[in-house]
Structure 1
Amino acid sequence: MGEIIAVTSGKGGVGKSSVCIHLGMMLASKGYKICLVDADLGLKNLDLMMGLDNRVIFDMQDVVEERCLLERALLQDKREKNLYLLPVCKGVNFSGIHQDDFVRVMRVLQNQFDYLFIDTPAGVESGFRFASSVAGRAIIVSNLDVSALQDADRVIGLLLKEGVAMLELVLNKISPRAIDKGMCVKIEDATSWLAIPLLGYIVEDARMQSCNNRGLPIAVARDSQLYHCFDVLARRFLKEKVALPKLNERRFLSRIFAT
């Protein structure tokens, strides 16, 4: 039976959906069958970022209301045959799905996929509550801004209250220069503050937004910095003993991330 993971954050704009897509794509490239469930209602954009927006015809709400079979609502990625997307709803109206419906569909998907990643809304909207009710593991995405870390800390408390015991942190949009100049919280201070294991970090890259807008995830480019970051992230997610690069050693970074 597959594992269900909630991918969440306390603050919008930290790159939660990008992390969800790229981690899923990296795992799919390693042979795992992956389903991304877009439960970020109102701000749903996984279909756009994956270049699948024109293919969305059915969603989970159609499945629940018996307008189509679950297989018709699943969209296969254009690049990775093991990666699929399930939109929860095409619009912002979530009234047609109750928590029991959501859980039932997720249990069916567990028998079809190795990993299910639920992209949740930032905060405590319905999508967040539904995901936390069924996930046994959660990835909290944040950057090194104080406000983002404060909100992430609040979300960690909510997840623990819901009984999601396995929590892991991904720090996104990491800039070694900003850390060196004291313009943001240090990684070790952020992990100490949130007190959950650091799964990985993703370096800041100006190309990310452009690629997301074009539906072309940058993780497919093997010579990119982001590919290396997501490869390490995926391997650590799979419990491989892989060390993180030491950000305070610039020569080490330039050697690892030479393009």
Structure 2
Amino acid sequence: MGKTTSSANLGMALAKMGRQVALVDADFGLRNLDLLLGLENRIVYTAVEVLARECRLEQALVKDKRLPNLVLLPAAQNRTKDAVSPDQIKLLVNALAQKYQYVIIDSPAGIEMGFKNAIASAKEALIVTTPEIASVRDADRVVGLLEAQGIKKIHLIINRIKPAMVRANDMMSVQDVQELLAIPLIGVIPDDERVIVSTNRGEPLVLSESPSLAATAFENIARRLEGEAVDFIEVDANNDNIFSRIRRLLWTKII
């Protein structure tokens, strides 16, 4: 659904704005955030070594040479999600929050222990979903879990929107997703092949010299997080009823 891509680009966008940013990879066993940032070859220690007191927190933080005010706390690849507890993650995040203005936690997929670890110390959440029925249903479940955890400040990022498909009634619109989830919208990311290229190169889109709509969308989200009023990228949609659109999408899938 693009959680890791969003974490990497938002972290970089905020760092470009001069903010002190710490990115935390909470996906133990399947870490990917280091790859998207192009920092995989610079990892010496991980969060597990910090918690085992085999190194200091500062030793495990990987600084980005492109933007020194951004650091990554990597997850361990050779440990499962049960290797750490929510209380341990909370300790790490609270320590980072003493120095960094933004601590962005990249949550793993699913709602098991990895998810519980990721939200243990969260003050607010960004829900990343694609405009597909299954993805939106999963997002709705996550919203309920976050609210049960006492996290009330929740915003929505709709990823990989395709305006042509929305106009043809083959994809849910931004308005459709908003109506179903009923949480405030903070960003709309248009589908862009350059996201795949940037991922493979370990260079977040917001650092690219050639401008793209997706990069602008991530930068706009960062500005909104800073409290700026920024207009949303307009995505055209027909005035079709949301439920008739969903029925059509389901019917097409069945056929």
> What TM-score do the two structures reach when normalised by structure 1?
0.87
In the alignment, structure 1 residue 248 sits paired with structure 2 residue 239: no
Measured after TM superposition, the shift of residue 95 of structure 1 is 4.1
Equivalent residue letter for 1:198: L
Measured after TM superposition, the shift of residue 227 of structure 1 is 2.2
Equivalent residue letter for 1:34: V
Equivalent residue letter for 1:240: E
CA contact 2:82–2:113 (8 Å) conserved in 1 = no
Q: Secondary structure at the match of 2:58?
A: helix
Instruction: Say what the alpha-carbon RMSD is for the aligned residues.
Output: 1.4
Q: Quote the Cα distance in structure 2 between the aligned partners of 1:229 and 1:221.
A: 14
Equivalent residue letter for 1:110: A
Equivalent residue letter for 1:55: R
1:253 is matched with: none
CA contact 1:59–1:90 (8 Å) conserved in 2 = no
Q: Quote the Cα distance in structure 2 between the aligned partners of 1:90 and 1:123.
A: 18
Q: Quote the Cα distance in structure 1 between the aligned partners of 2:59 and 2:11.
A: 20
CA contact 1:123–1:155 (8 Å) conserved in 2 = no
CA contact 1:202–1:230 (8 Å) conserved in 2 = yes
2:195 is matched with: 208
Equivalent residue letter for 1:133: A
Decide which of 26, 34, 48 is 1:39's aligned counterpart: 26
CA contact 1:27–1:34 (8 Å) conserved in 2 = yes
The structure with the largest alpha-carbon Rg is 2
Q: Quote the Cα distance in structure 1 between the aligned partners of 2:81 and 2:115.
A: 12
Measured after TM superposition, the shift of residue 221 of structure 1 is 2.3
Deviates more, 1:89-98 or 1:159-168: 89-98
Q: Quote the Cα distance in structure 2 between the aligned partners of 1:18 and 1:122.
A: 13
Q: Secondary structure at the match of 1:129?
A: helix
Q: Secondary structure at the match of 2:179?
A: helix
Q: Quote the Cα distance in structure 1 between the aligned partners of 2:62 and 2:161.
A: 31
Equivalent residue letter for 2:212: S
Equivalent residue letter for 1:169: L
Identity of aligned pairs, percent? 37
CA contact 1:36–1:117 (8 Å) conserved in 2 = yes
Q: Quote the Cα distance in structure 2 between the aligned partners of 1:85 and 1:142.
A: 24
CA contact 2:131–2:173 (8 Å) conserved in 1 = yes
Q: Could you report, residue by residue, the CA deviation over 1:79-115 in whole angstroms, capped at 9, with x for unpaired residues? A: 2111111013232434442222211111111101000
Equivalent residue letter for 2:118: A
Decide which of 8, 17, 27 is 2:14's aligned counterpart: 27
CA contact 2:82–2:114 (8 Å) conserved in 1 = no
Equivalent residue letter for 1:244: F
Q: Quote the Cα distance in structure 2 between the aligned partners of 1:204 and 1:154.
A: 24
Decide which of 224, 229, 254 is 2:212's aligned counterpart: 224
Between 1 and 2, higher relative CO (CA 8 Å, sep ≥ 6) is seen in: 1
1:101-180 equivalences under 5 Å are 101-180=88-167
Q: Quote the Cα distance in structure 2 between the aligned partners of 1:201 and 1:81.
A: 28
Q: Quote the Cα distance in structure 1 between the aligned partners of 2:41 and 2:77.
A: 11
2:226 is matched with: 238
Q: Could you report, residue by residue, the CA deviation over 1:196-253 in whole angstroms, capped at 9, with x for unpaired residues? A: 000011111112112101111121125222221112111111121111122119xxxx
CA contact 1:26–1:219 (8 Å) conserved in 2 = yes
Equivalent residue letter for 1:78: K
Q: Quote the Cα distance in structure 1 between the aligned partners of 2:185 and 2:159.
A: 11
Compared with structure 1, are the counterparts of its residues 196 and 242 closer, same or farther at alpha carbon in structure 2 (3 Å cutoff)?
A: same
> What TM-score do the two structures reach when normalised by structure 2?
0.89
In the alignment, structure 1 residue 71 sits paired with structure 2 residue 58: yes
Equivalent residue letter for 2:26: A
Gapped regions of structure 2 (runs ≥ 5): 238-255
Equivalent residue letter for 1:107: N
Q: Quote the Cα distance in structure 1 between the aligned partners of 2:26 and 2:60.
A: 14
Q: Could you report, residue by residue, the CA deviation over 1:63-84 in whole angstroms, capped at 9, with x for unpaired residues? A: 1111101001000113211111
